[in-house]
Amino acid sequence: DIQMTQSPSSLSASVGDRVTITCRASQSISVYLNWYQQSPGKAPKLLIYAASYLQSGVPSRFSGSGSGADFTLTINSLQPDDFASYFCQQSYSTPWTFGQGTKVEIK
Amino acid sequence: EVQLVESGGGLVKPGRSLRISCTASGFNFGDYDMTWFRQAPGKGLEWVGFIRRKVYGETTEYAASVKGRFIISRDDSTSIAYLEMNGLKTEDTAVYYCTRERVAIFGVIIMDYWGQGTLVTVSS
């Protein structure tokens, strides 16, 4: 199975800050990498797919980059709705696996 | 509007069975593969398995942790996907989500819509 490792596991930030979350795969997965946001008590929501493509309806302050084994999710100008958990997920091979998540908290 | 609504969760004793449902609307259900995930309380997301659409023979694939105990099926006439869980264990306690799976750019598989989830608690 492909292991996905995110860092940090949590971070504190203020509204307006720029936030960067990293995700590393245990092997090269090309661009088969998606990012999801999960607010407390809610289902995950697709933000970024294929490493850098913004899902329809997602604000442009979210962006993704990377290929191979190293990926980054960036949130520019953090907004109140962005305080949530973020997960990376590989769809290179089954079983689809996720990073352990990064919780973005209000400073 | 695409909607996925899970139902049928609840409290069940270890060793027993439970079937949960995912009712889809707002899209042509038969054109999509459907995938189940779960999330134990306070934990991360775990893939449970998927069922391909009819044109691909409705084939299924499962996570090692549930293979041989869980069965995914679908009824395209009613737009419902099912997850039948047998021989339940306490470690199966989780919120179960159904998702619509599709192929995006470069052949990347994405789960673009998720249900709200249904809680399954396995406890004596």
Q: What is the pLDDT of residue B77?
A: 97
Q: How confident is the model at residue A107 (pLDDT cuts 50, 70, 90)?
A: confident
Q: How far apart are CA A2 and CA A21, in angstroms?
A: 19
Q: What is the pLDDT of residue B61?
A: 97
Place of tokens 């990377």: A66
Interchain CB distance below 8 Å, A96 and B116: no
- A82-to-A15, A38, A64, A103, B110 alpha-carbon distances in Å: 9, 9, 15, 10, 21
Rounded to the nearest angstrom, the gap between the alpha carbon of residue A105 and the centroid of all alpha carbons in its chain is: 15
Flag whether residue A101 sits within 8 Å of chain B, measured between CB atoms.
Answer: yes
Q: What is the mean pLDDT of residues A78-88?
A: 96
Interface test with A, best of B109, B112, B116, B118 (most A CBs within 10 A): B109
Write out pLDDT tens, residues A1-20.
999 999 999 999 999 999 99
Instruction: Please name the member of B47, B97, B117 whose beta carbon is closest to the beta carbon of A96.
Output: B47
Q: How far apart are CA A44 and CA B98, in angstroms?
A: 11
- Average per-residue pLDDT for chain A: 97
What is the full per-residue pLDDT of chain B (124 aa) written as tens digits? 999 999 999 999 999 999 999 999 999 999 999 999 999 999 999 999 999 999 999 999 999 999 999 999 999 999 999 999 999 999 999 999 999 999 999 999 999 999 999 999 999 9
Q: What is the pLDDT of residue A81?
A: 93
Flag whether residue B51 sits within 8 Å of chain A, measured between CB atoms.
Answer: no
Q: What is the pLDDT of residue B88?
A: 98
Top pLDDT among B46 and A106 is at B46
A 46-85: CB under 8 A from B: 46, 49-50, 53, 55
Q: What is the mean pLDDT of residues A30-42?
A: 96
Write out pLDDT tens, residues B26-56.
999 999 999 999 999 999 999 999 999 999 9
Q: DSSP letters of B60-80?
A: EEE-TTTTTTEEEEEETTTTE
Interchain CB distance below 8 Å, B117 and A43: yes
